[in-house]
């Protein structure tokens, strides 16, 4: 806990808190190991959860500001894990969640000096990738060999998907754009650390360089993914030598790429000394992709259809988005923000009244809202009215989250409705936090930061499962993520800094789940890919949220 931020602990006591909370419903903050009482107060009334049969009482010790290591003690129930109260108390989590991306780099060896005991040889080199028949063109017939080397693995599998890379990379770049000073001093001990470019940007660039190879230089279109035909077994990265393919191009992949390349171009313009020519190449790539999309404004990547026509059949993740309005919008906002050109504003203007919703791999509209709001003062005058309107919508969106906190059984924004607990629900919690931080950046009202912090607390353990969903962090972290490198390395501790997908009552993996209600349907077993896989689009908003919280607490 931060000394001056809200401090909430939750007591669940066998899900029957009303009966077992002890005679006086009091709680105590004790000095860890010593046992001296430093604060005492009453528990709240019982709260019922909207997402399970769990009942809770809240121990609110926000009025306690002392630094140190403490435990919460509730007579008749017991003691909490020890916890710290300090200024930069989440620095480790914030650094680790970004470093997580280094550990899932594909084509380079992870050296011991950066990766510690998780060092390993390079994974899939992807210097010999075949053009799948679904992607064949006159200049690149089926079987043409191209290179699509580098980039992050998507998740627990060993494939690389442009659509999901788009939102993930864009979110990291936005984290930098919103907190440039903070990220300039953040060292994650990666090979590029100390080169004069913030680590978060070098991490993003590792993936961007791969994304650039996914663009066909003959027409500007972008392949949906670089993949095996089927998922690899649970083995070390790169030991299987099965053929790798690039598959059909698509509008979503191409526009997501255009957005990221345009955003990266304006950011790396400042780092021309370290990366000469990069900003120009990125902008050329972005406009080339945009032009391809103009000719192919709604080309879906439909894997089922593709598999009816072509061999080999491709059974890895599809990320098959069918609606492209949001990708058009996001790409247009990033190109507008970077170039100031009216032509991109025309597309933005067409979509300003579309409803806002939380970002996901299939819905990137909100990323455009964030960008135009952030860049408002540098936009040409014709675009400022739209940017103002978007800022208002972001704040209204965030305002809807605030009344949830005093109602929620865990005192978090996350969890107002069972609908939030879908595949990757933890990214829902993280993205809610990002929306709240954006509302803070617009209004400078600290209540949004406090609200965002409730979801960081959720992800780190103040949730119905009691797990910290980030590997390597806290007293009870995820230990068995569905993550091939962690499963196959013979090391007890999973690769650190990776966030599990989180509770998902869909349980599409048919693994063993002890609890099955929306907020408890989480299984810390490696077969449980529907709740315990890790993925770049889940880590990325957590990078934004955790680091934003750290940056803002220091102020």
Closer residue to ligand 9MR in complex, CB, 332/535: 535
End-to-end CA distance of the chain: 16
CB count, 10 Å around CB of 143?
12
- Known catalytic residue: 280? no
Tokens of 451: 């609200």
Beta strands in 120-165 (DSSP E): 129-131, 145-146, 160-161
Closer residue to ligand 9MR in complex, CB, 228/408: 228
Nearest distance from residue 219's CB to ligand 9MR, in Å?
A: 26
Using rule CB under 6 A, residue 428 touches ligand 9MR: no
Using rule CB under 6 A, residue 197 touches ligand 9MR: no
CB count, 10 Å around CB of 147?
14
Using rule CB under 6 A, residue 423 touches ligand 9MR: yes
* Selected range binding ligand 9MR among 8-16, 342-350, 452-460, 527-535, rule: CB under 6 A: 527-535
Residue in the structure block whose two tokens are 């979503």: 252
Residue in the structure block whose two tokens are 């108390």: 89
Nearest distance from residue 154's CB to ligand 9MR, in Å?
A: 5
Nearest distance from residue 291's CB to ligand 9MR, in Å?
A: 29
Nearest distance from residue 319's CB to ligand 9MR, in Å?
A: 6
CB count, 10 Å around CB of 182?
20
Residues of span 146-175 touching ligand 9MR by CB under 6 A = 154-155, 157
Closer residue to ligand 9MR in complex, CB, 80/224: 224
Identified catalytic residue from 219, 256, 334, 524: 524
- Known catalytic residue: 533? yes
Q: What CA–CA distance (Å, rounded) separates 195 from 75?
A: 54
Using rule CB under 6 A, residue 232 touches ligand 9MR: no
Nearest distance from residue 126's CB to ligand 9MR, in Å?
A: 16
Compute how many residues bind ligand 9MR; rule: CB under 6 A: 9
Q: What CA–CA distance (Å, rounded) separates 146 from 131?
A: 7
Assign 3-class secondary structure to 204-251: HHHHHHHHHHCECCCCCCEECEEECCCCCCCCCCCCCCCCCEECCECH
Show the binding pattern over residues 487-526: x = contacts ligand 9MR (CB under 6 A), - = does not.
----------------------------------------
Q: What CA–CA distance (Å, rounded) separates 158 from 512?
A: 24
Rg (CA), the chain: 23
Tokens of 156: 């627990």
Nearest distance from residue 425's CB to ligand 9MR, in Å?
A: 10
DSSP output for 468-484: B-BTT-SSSB--S-B-H
Q: What CA–CA distance (Å, rounded) separates 226 from 245?
A: 5
Beta strands in 175-310 (DSSP E): 225-227, 245-246
| Single residue of 282, 535, 543, 545 touching ligand 9MR by CB under 6 A | 535
Using rule CB under 6 A, residue 533 touches ligand 9MR: yes
Closer residue to ligand 9MR in complex, CB, 157/202: 157
Q: What CA–CA distance (Å, rounded) separates 510 from 385?
A: 50
Catalytic (active-site) positions: 524, 533
Note the residues at the interface with ligand 9MR (CB under 6 A): 154-155, 157, 317, 423-424, 529, 533, 535
């Amino acid at each position: 806990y931060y000394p001056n931020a809200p401090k909430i602990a939750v007591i669940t006591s066998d899900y029957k808190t009303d009966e077992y909370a002890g005679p006086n419903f009091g709680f105590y903050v004790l000095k860890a190991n010593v046992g001296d009482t430093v604060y005492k107060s009453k528990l709240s009334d019982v709260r019922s959860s909207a997402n399970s049969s769990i009942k809770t009482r809240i121990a609110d010790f926000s009025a306690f500001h002392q630094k140190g290591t403490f435990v919460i003690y509730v007579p008749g129930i017991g003691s909490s894990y020890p916890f710290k109260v300090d200024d930069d108390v989440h620095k480790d989590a914030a650094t680790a969640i970004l470093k997580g991306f280094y550990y899932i780099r594909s084509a380079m060896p992870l050296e011991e000096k950066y990766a510690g005991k998780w060092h390993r040889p390079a994974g899939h080199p992807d210097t010999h990738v075949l053009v799948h028949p679904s992607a064949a063109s006159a200049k690149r017939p089926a079987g043409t060999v191209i290179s699509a080397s580098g980039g992050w693995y998507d998740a627990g599998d060993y494939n690389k998907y442009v659509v999901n890379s788009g939102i993930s990379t864009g979110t990291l770049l936005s984290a930098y754009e919103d907190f440039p000073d903070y990220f300039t001093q953040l060292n994650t001990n990666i090979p590029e650390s100390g080169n004069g470019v913030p680590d978060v940007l070098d991490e993003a660039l590792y993936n961007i360089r791969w994304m650039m190879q996914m663009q066909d230089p003959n027409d500007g279109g972008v392949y949906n993914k670089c993949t095996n035909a089927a998922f690899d077994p649970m083995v070390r990265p790169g030991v299987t030598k099965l053929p790798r393919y690039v598959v059909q191009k698509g509008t979503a992949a191409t526009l997501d790429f255009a957005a990221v390349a345009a955003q990266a171009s304006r950011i790396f313009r400042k780092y021309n000394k370290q990366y000469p020519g990069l900003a120009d190449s990125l902008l050329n790539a972005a406009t080339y992709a945009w032009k391809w999309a103009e000719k192919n404004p709604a080309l879906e990547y439909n894997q089922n259809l593709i598999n009816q026509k072509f061999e080999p059949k491709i059974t890895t993740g599809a990320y098959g988005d069918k609606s492209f309005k949001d990708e058009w919008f996001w790409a247009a906002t990033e190109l507008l923000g970077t170039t100031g050109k009216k032509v991109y504003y025309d597309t933005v203007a067409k979509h300003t009244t579309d409803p806002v919703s939380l970002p996901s791999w299939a819905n990137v509209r909100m990323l455009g809202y964030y960008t135009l709001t952030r860049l408002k003062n540098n936009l040409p005058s014709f675009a400022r009215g739209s940017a103002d309107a978007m800022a208002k919508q972001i704040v209204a969106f965030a305002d809807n989250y605030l009344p949830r906190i005093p109602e929620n059984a865990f005192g978090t924004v996350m969890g107002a409705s069972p609908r939030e607990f879908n595949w990757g629900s933890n990214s829902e919690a993280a993205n809610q936090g990002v929306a709240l931080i954006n509302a803070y950046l617009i209004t400078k009202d600290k209540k949004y930061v406090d609200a965002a912090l409730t979801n960081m607390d959720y992800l780190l353990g103040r949730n119905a499962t009691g797990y910290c969903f980030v590997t390597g962090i806290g007293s009870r972290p995820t230990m068995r993520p569905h993550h091939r490198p962690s499963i196959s390395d013979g090391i007890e501790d999973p690769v650190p800094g990776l966030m599990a997908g989180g509770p998902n009552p869909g349980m599409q993996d048919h693994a063993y789940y002890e609890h099955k209600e929306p907020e408890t349907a989480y299984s810390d077993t490696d077969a449980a890919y529907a709740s315990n896989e890790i993925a770049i689009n889940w880590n990325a908003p957590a990078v934004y949220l955790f680091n934003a919280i750290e940056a803002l607490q220091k102020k």
